[in-house]
Amino acid sequence: MINAQDIHDGINIINQTQTEADLESARLHWLGKKGLLTNAFKALGALDKDERVEKAKSLNEFKEKIQAALVQSKLRISQILLNEKLNQQLDMTLPARDAIKGNTHPISQVINQLHRFFELRGFTSYSAEHNFDVEEESNNFSLLNIPENHPARSMQDTFFIGSQLLRTHVSASQPRILKQLNPPIKAVVFGRVYRSDQPDVTHVPVFHQMECLYIDKKCHFGHLKDTIDAFIRYLFGHSMKTRYRSSYFPFTEPSVEIDVWMPEEKQWLEILGAGMVHPNVIKNCGHDPDSFRGFAFGVGIERLAMLYFGLKDVRQLYGADVELLSGCDLWQ
Ligand code: DAH
């Protein structure tokens, strides 16, 4: 029969186990199907009642002691394993993991550059946001000399929100600024614009524009040309060739479109629309068109970013491809 000394020795062995496997074989040795205590309990049936009661009592005590020792050793061994793991993690000789480097988004980089250039030239920067991106129909169209039923309104398929709309161009800020400020006015405005276009390599339904507005007593086409050429050179260097093509916008007269030459593709790429502010716009916004003249232009930020970073598809700017976007860091 098992005696107290056996249990004492057994507990000593359990206390010295170092691995989960050793602990498990100690458990089986005492409590497994053919374990010493299990067999001793089975043997109780052959004893007479008094002896059985007495032996059962001490066997139960033995069992409790063994079980307590097993539980304690389990904790002790898991602490050993944890320490081993922690020691491994704290190995100061391991090389550091490569950190993923983030970047200012290419669109923000272009906006930052434009800010820098125009502020150096004495322009004040504004955000197009007024009521988030919701704009009055009058600012977006009528005050800009785009009357109802004018074909330009269908040219820019518009998202209407009741009588208001999501601005279709940042030119909508021209009336806001003209109604608030007295000339001379030198402003650049940045904002998101919305058009109901199907996304493809050159179109996304929400994109960014910068609008430039200059109003003064003496302002002529030379000022427009100087400003546009200078900002294109500031962004792209002196070798960038530009071409002015006559065009039509209801809010400018005369109107032009400006292309840049892409040497690799051997073709012109249209990057912005511009013109002398139409006298009707100046009048609609409360100023005397005989006293003031001005120029304005609007440029798509995505277009500039694609050109600068050599991207072929505008959707790449919105793909959250960290590797591609981290490569676009020439202006950091
Ligand atoms: N608002 C025009 C567009 O989104 C761009 C534009 C053209 C702006 C001529 C101007 C301008 O200020 O003079 O297509």
Phi–psi pair at 311, nearest 5 degrees: -85, 140
**How far apart (Å, rounded) are the C-alpha atoms in residues 144 and 152?**
11
| pLDDT by residue, tens only, the chain of 332 residues | 889 999 999 999 999 999 999 999 999 999 999 999 999 999 998 999 999 999 999 999 999 999 999 999 999 999 999 988 888 767 788 888 888 777 899 999 999 999 999 999 999 999 999 889 999 999 999 999 998 888 777 666 788 888 899 999 999 999 999 999 999 999 999 999 999 888 999 899 999 999 999 999 999 999 999 999 999 999 999 889 999 999 999 999 999 999 999 888 899 999 999 999 999 999 999 999 999 999 999 999 999 999 999 899 999 999 888 888 888 877 65
What pLDDT, on a 0 to 100 scale, did the predictor assign at position 108?
94
Cβ-proximal residues to 278 (8 Å cutoff; 6+ apart), any chain? 145, 250, 251, 252, 253
Q: Is residue 2 lining ligand 1, measured as CB closer than 6 Å?
A: no
pTM: 0.72
What pLDDT, on a 0 to 100 scale, did the predictor assign at position 247?
97
Q: Please state the CATH superfamily assignment of the domain spanning residues 106-319 in this structure.
A: Bira Bifunctional Protein; Domain 2 (3.30.930.10)
Q: Is residue 145 lining ligand 1, measured as CB closer than 6 Å?
A: no
Give, using CA atoms, the residue closest to atom 12 of ligand 1.
297
Select from 228, 249, 303, 304 the residue to mutate for testing ligand 1; criterion: most ligand atoms less than 8 Å from CB: 249
* Beta strand spans in the chain (E): 124-127, 134-136, 160-161, 164-166, 185-194, 206-216, 242-249, 252-262, 267-277, 293-300
Give, using CA atoms, the residue closest to atom 10 of ligand 1.
297
Q: Is residue 297 lining ligand 1, measured as CB closer than 6 Å?
A: yes
The DSSP 8-state label assigned to residue 329 in this structure reads: -
What pLDDT, on a 0 to 100 scale, did the predictor assign at position 256?
98
Select from 145, 169, 197 the residue to mutate for testing ligand 1; criterion: most ligand atoms less than 8 Å from CB: 169
CA of 228 from ligand 1 middle (Å) equals 13
CA of 325 from ligand 1 middle (Å) equals 28
Give, using CA atoms, the residue closest to atom 5 of ligand 1.
298
What pLDDT, on a 0 to 100 scale, did the predictor assign at position 324?
85
What pLDDT, on a 0 to 100 scale, did the predictor assign at position 156?
60
**How far apart (Å, rounded) are the C-alpha atoms in residues 107 and 207?**
10
Q: Is residue 207 lining ligand 1, measured as CB closer than 6 Å?
A: no
Q: Which residues of 145-155 are buried (b: 16+ CB within 10 A; e: fewer)?
A: bbeeeeebbee
What pLDDT, on a 0 to 100 scale, did the predictor assign at position 252?
98
What pLDDT, on a 0 to 100 scale, did the predictor assign at position 114?
96
Cα dist from 311 to 95, 132, 242, 258, 325, whole Å = 35, 29, 20, 20, 10
What pLDDT, on a 0 to 100 scale, did the predictor assign at position 331?
60
Integer distance in angstroms from the first to the last C-alpha of the chain?
83
Coil/strand/helix, residue 142: helix
Q: Is residue 106 lining ligand 1, measured as CB closer than 6 Å?
A: no
Q: Is residue 10 lining ligand 1, measured as CB closer than 6 Å?
A: no
Q: Is residue 63 lining ligand 1, measured as CB closer than 6 Å?
A: no
**How far apart (Å, rounded) are the C-alpha atoms in residues 131 and 220?**
33
CA of 300 from ligand 1 middle (Å) equals 10
Q: Is residue 249 lining ligand 1, measured as CB closer than 6 Å?
A: yes
